[in-house]
Amino acid sequence: MVPPPRFDAVRFATYEPDPAQPSQAEAVKVLSDFAAGLGSGEPAKKRGWFRKAPAAPKGPRGVYLDGGYGVGKTHLLASLWHATDAPPEKKAFGTFVELTNLVGALGFQKTVQTLGGHRLLCIDEFELDDPGDTVLVSTLLGKLVEAGVALAATSNTLPGKLGEGRFAAADFLREIQGLSAHFRPLRIDGEDYRHRGLPAAPAPAAEEAVIKASHATDGATLDPFPALLQHLAEVHPSRYGALTDGIRAVCLTGVKEVPDQATALRLVVLADRLYDREIPVLASGVAFDRLFSEEMLAGGYRKKYFRAISRLTALARDGQGLLPA
């Protein structure tokens, strides 16, 4: 549970705040102070009979980065992980999905024991898609805070608004409010840095060009898009990262609008894993901004879909380098 390859070398110093968005520079300062406040983790000196015990810290023991896609939240979260003065085995970094998968693999109590000795838990892409996740994560984070674990998370939704548009969030208001109490919200404004000042997404390549590029590129895959979607339905999303091991480029033919929401959500997870690993994508068919229907882009998962479009578009730009000059 460490930052993925794309964010292995990022630091606060490599984050480039947009001068037009003061909240970005403020976020760097707040998170730098937050990391410094976690200290070295050395055990406190034994107190004497007449010395007062240090007061318990007041307020939330966590920070929550809220903002649109592409403002650098994951960059900042990974920078916080790197800046925290603790060995890698005492701090954890993972997506919200990876955290829930960890509970599924280890069991709840073992997860609390495993993470309870950590100094920091960073959760990327914090989203509540169903009531079960709400209760699970609320209980887990409560246990970890009690154990002294500091929390940091990113999301496109304020903590008090998690779950809206996806399930009857009002029925689970207590759990959602309990989650919110663990965090200090930190708003980060700005436009998507992946497209700031850049041209529009590249047009899809011709199918013949995609096939030729796949054969000319060591470590490239070549799949018809419908076959890829079918395969994703047969693999648990927690294994999508492993699917990309050893892959240097992804070539797809016949890309078209995804047929349903379940398929779309699986594709979002794959897009995140490809982006984390900086794997270029070259595709024929429709452009990536036409992957999801208007209904999907107006629904409760719209922020996930826009993030996927943004990331796939960035990878498609990288994929242009696979074509002959």
Q: The domain spanning residue 241 has which CATH number?
A: 3.40.50
User: Does residue 4 contact residue 277 with C-beta atoms inside 8 Å?
Assistant: yes
- H or E element in which residue 108 lies: helix 108-116
Q: Are residues 117 and 55 in the same domain?
A: yes
Q: What angle do CA 98, 311, 204 make, to 5 degrees?
A: 135
Q: What CA–CA distance (Å, rounded) separates 240 from 234?
A: 11
DSSP annotation of 8? S
Identify whether residues 131 and 276 lie together within a single domain. Answer: no
* One domain, residues 173 and 97: yes
Residue 278 within a domain: yes
- Give the pLDDT confidence score for residue 105 in this predicted structure: 84
Residue 194 lies in a domain: no
Residues 131 and 248 in one domain: no
Domain final position from 143, 164, 187: 187
Provide the β-strand partners of residue 66: 155, 187
Q: What is the pLDDT of residue 193?
A: 61
173 inside domain: yes
The answer to whether position 113 is within a domain reads: yes
Query: Is residue 51 helix, strand or coil?
Result: coil
Token pair for 56: 């318990």
The model scores a pTM over 0.75:
no
| E-state strands within the chain | 62-66, 91-95, 120-124, 150-155, 184-187, 220-224, 249-255, 281-285
- As for how many domains the chain has, the answer is 2
Task: Give the pLDDT of residue 197.
Answer: 53
Task: List the chain pLDDT tens, one digit each, 325 residues.
Answer: 889 888 888 999 999 888 888 999 999 999 999 898 886 544 334 444 445 444 444 445 788 888 776 788 889 999 999 999 889 999 999 988 888 888 888 899 999 999 999 999 998 887 765 566 767 888 888 899 888 899 888 876 544 454 444 434 444 345 545 666 777 888 888 776 655 555 566 889 999 999 999 999 999 999 999 999 999 999 988 888 889 999 999 999 999 999 999 999 999 999 999 998 999 999 999 999 899 999 998 887 887 888 899 889 989 999 999 998 6
* CATH number of the structural domain spanning residue 178: 3.40.50.300
Residue 232 lies in a domain: yes
Q: Specify whether 20 is located in the same domain as 163.
A: yes
Distance, CA of 292 to CA of 308 (rounded, Å): 10
Select from 11, 19, 122 the least CA-distant residue to 75: 11
Q: pLDDT, tens digit, for every residue of 282-315?
A: 999 999 989 999 999 888 788 788 889 988 998 9
Name beta bridge partners: 155: 66
What pLDDT shows up at residue 320?
A: 92
Chain-centroid distance of CA 142 in Å reads 21
Residues 204 and 254 in one domain: yes
Q: Is residue 244 part of a domain?
A: yes
Diameter of the chain measured on Cα atoms:
81
Instruction: Based on the fold, state whether residues 169 and 317 are members of the same structural domain.
Output: no
Q: How many whole angstroms separate alpha carbon 34 and alpha carbon 276?
A: 25
Q: Is residue 192 part of a domain?
A: no
Bridging pattern class, strands 249-255 and 62-66: unpaired
Is there a domain that residue 95 lies in?
yes
Q: Is the dihedral of CA 229, 275, 184, 120 positive or negative?
A: positive
DSSP 45: P
Q: Tell me the two tokens of residue 255.
A: 């890309």
What does 198-213 look like in DSSP terms, one character per residue? Answer: PPPPPPPPPHHHHHHH
Domain that holds residue 204: 199-322
Q: What is the chain's alpha carbon radius of gyration, rounded to the nearest angstrom? A: 21
- Alpha-carbon distance 95 to 158, whole Å? 17
Residues 256 and 292 in one domain: yes
Token reading at 244: 């990309």
- Co-location of 77 and 104 in the same domain: yes
Q: Which helix (H) or strand (E) holds 232?
A: helix 225-232
Predicted pLDDT at 227: 96
Residues 33 and 170 in one domain: yes
How many whole angstroms separate alpha carbon 212 and alpha carbon 202? 18
